[in-house]
Structure 1
Amino acid sequence: MKKKWVWLLFFLLIVEVALASFIFLNPFKTKEVAKTSSSSTEVTALSTETSSTSKEKTKWIESDTEISFPILMYHSLTEPEGNSLKVPPAEFKEHMKWLKDNGYYTLTPEEAYIVLTENKKPAEKIVWVTLDDGYLNNYTEGFPILKDLKMKATISYITSKLGSSSYFDLAQMKEMAQSDTINIESHTVSHLDLNTLEDSHITSELKDSKAWFDKELSQNTSLLCYPAGRYDERVQRIAEEVGYKMAITTEPGYAKKSDGLFALKRVRISPGYDGNAFGEFVTSYQ
């Protein structure tokens, strides 16, 4: 009988010790979980703060006078062979390097719109590099040059040229559009002289092109490049009605808001300029 009592007391003692150990150790475990949770929250907060800071990196400079800036106009990047619309890739590289070395900030369409509508700029020296039509050499030659220099450009593409061997294809277009280097915008469907068309035809050329880019590139296409620079008041009105925010012309000069967002002037770049000659030409153009 005594043995039974001894075993019973021994059993109760073990249970009591186990229970005490659980109560004693568990708060530390709880604190550890709380600490881990707290650390996780701190990391999340830090991550959010870093992301927010990154978005606000660009410091915009407001101006008391109207801002004007060069929109450079290129087409094909190849040996000219007597064609003034063709610029050799080596010259294009020299031009971009001159801009980089001289502190120029290359704009996206979105940034250009802010400059024009809010009269502030993301850097003291700004330039908008544009290439018309969508030639394959824009992808094979221009894209790598711009990427290496960490510069940006906008290519206006003629959608009816998709599938032509002289123009970049959809996969190449998407690769560029998904980079931080190239924006793809509209050069209409068929590259017709818009000022010679009926209103309904103008509408389809502008609307169908924008809709195609919006769908294929998951974007809101904001820029229209007038084919051959031809437009009139009807074209401007319809462009705005179908959802474009700006349009670029072939008229010479620096771009500024007072000319109108649908009549932005550009600086045509022809072959034959090395880096320094290019810089002198662009800065004295106005």
Structure 2
Amino acid sequence: MRTIYTLTFLGFSTVMAGLLTSCDSAKPEERTAVKAAPASLPDSAQVILASTEQASVAVTAPIINLSADAAAILAKPQVPILCYHQVRDWRDSDSKQARDYIVPTAVFRDQMQMLADSGYHTILPDQLMAYLTTGAPLPEKPVMITFDDTNLDQYTNALPELEKHNFKAVYFIMTVSLNRPRYMTREQVKELSDKGHAIGSHTWDHHNVKKYEGNDWITQVAKPKKVLEEITGKPVTYFAYPFGLWNKEAIPELKNNGMTAAFQLAAKRDEQDPLFTIRRIIASGYWSPIRLYKNLEGSF
């Protein structure tokens, strides 16, 4: 029996009144879902490059304008983007803080059911990029679901729940963990990509971007991007900052290494490069479906 959530939907055109404080500093019960900006260029996209060159590959692919005005991007209502880490049952050894990042399997199942029952539609980064840079339409009540860190339970526990509702997600992969115990294999990442999910980079070993120097950009960004492209057979141009931390110095480095957009958590967006400071909200393990619903509805 489908549960009907009756809170009022405020409408996609309503602009969020205030900005979120940092996810890391806010208590789970105090957090409000954030409308965020999107990420990057798939292999099938038709893209309007900043140099005005056009790379036209597929007629039906979204058009993305990388020279879009930053102020115009910032003025658009943001789309809520959820960030998940582990999807598994809590253990006695899990601290209270850790449980904020660990969503029990049944809670995740109920959250996904709530999204489906409430009419939400998952979107992928190229759709969001097209919306932000050209004003392309999105489905009613869009939401993006993202996963960080390559945890195996994202494949074993979360994926079946996504597939029940034909939801698609974005997986930000930390390449050092591939094929290790409790993490996904290369074959599983390839399968996710083949099923239509988006694959992005989450660095080699989760090193803080604000501390990079010298060859760190090669180790943490260039090489992982190449590895993921070899696995999926597709360009990888979406990036998620470890810990959600970024600085202005990182943006040109990411651009130089082939990234076209990057995801943070809930800090203020950069006024010159909003596509490299896309905002997300951590989906707390303490949130009931109705709590998640209120946060999503309140973000529009």
Unaligned regions of 5+ residues in structure 1, if any? Answer: 1-54
Match for 1:211 among 216, 226, 234?
A: 226
Tell me the CA shift for residue 245 of structure 1: 1.2
Match for 1:222 among 237, 246, 260?
A: 237
Tell me the CA shift for residue 282 of structure 1: 2.1
Q: Distance in 2 between matches of 1:155 and 1:245?
A: 16
Instruction: Verify: 1:155 aligned to 2:171, yes or no.
Output: yes
One-letter amino acid matched to 2:163: K
Instruction: Verify: 1:109 aligned to 2:125, yes or no.
Output: yes
Distance verdict in 2 for CA 1:271–1:134, change over 3 Å: same
- 1:67-216 alignment, distance < 5 Å: 67-80=77-90, 81=94, 82=96, 83=98, 84-180=100-196, 182-216=197-231
Kept after mapping to 1: 8 A contact 2:150/2:174: yes
Map of 1:66 onto structure 2: 76
- 1:9-48 alignment, distance < 5 Å: none
- How far does the alpha carbon of each residue in 1:160-203 deviate from its partner, in whole angstroms, 9 at most, with x for none? 111211101111111111113x2221001111011112143124
Kept after mapping to 2: 8 A contact 1:70/1:266: yes
Q: Distance in 2 between matches of 1:111 and 1:199?
A: 34
Secondary structure of the equivalent of 1:70? strand
Kept after mapping to 1: 8 A contact 2:84/2:283: yes
Instruction: Verify: 1:262 aligned to 2:276, yes or no.
Output: yes
Kept after mapping to 2: 8 A contact 1:199/1:234: no
Report how many residues are paired.
Answer: 226
Q: Distance in 2 between matches of 1:68 and 1:259?
A: 15
Higher helix proportion: 1
Structure whose CA Rg is larger: 1
RMSD: 2.5
Instruction: Verify: 1:232 aligned to 2:232, yes or no.
Output: no
Say which structure, 1 or 2, has more relative contact order (CA 8 Å, 6+ apart): 2
Q: Distance in 2 between matches of 1:56 and 1:179?
A: 19
Unaligned regions of 5+ residues in structure 2, if any? Answer: 1-58, 63-71
Kept after mapping to 2: 8 A contact 1:248/1:266: yes
One-letter amino acid matched to 2:198: N
One-letter amino acid matched to 2:132: L
Kept after mapping to 2: 8 A contact 1:187/1:226: yes
Moved more, 143-152 or 115-124: 115-124
Same amino acid, percent of matched pairs: 24
Kept after mapping to 2: 8 A contact 1:116/1:257: no
Match for 2:287 among 267, 273, 277?
A: 273
One-letter amino acid matched to 1:69: V
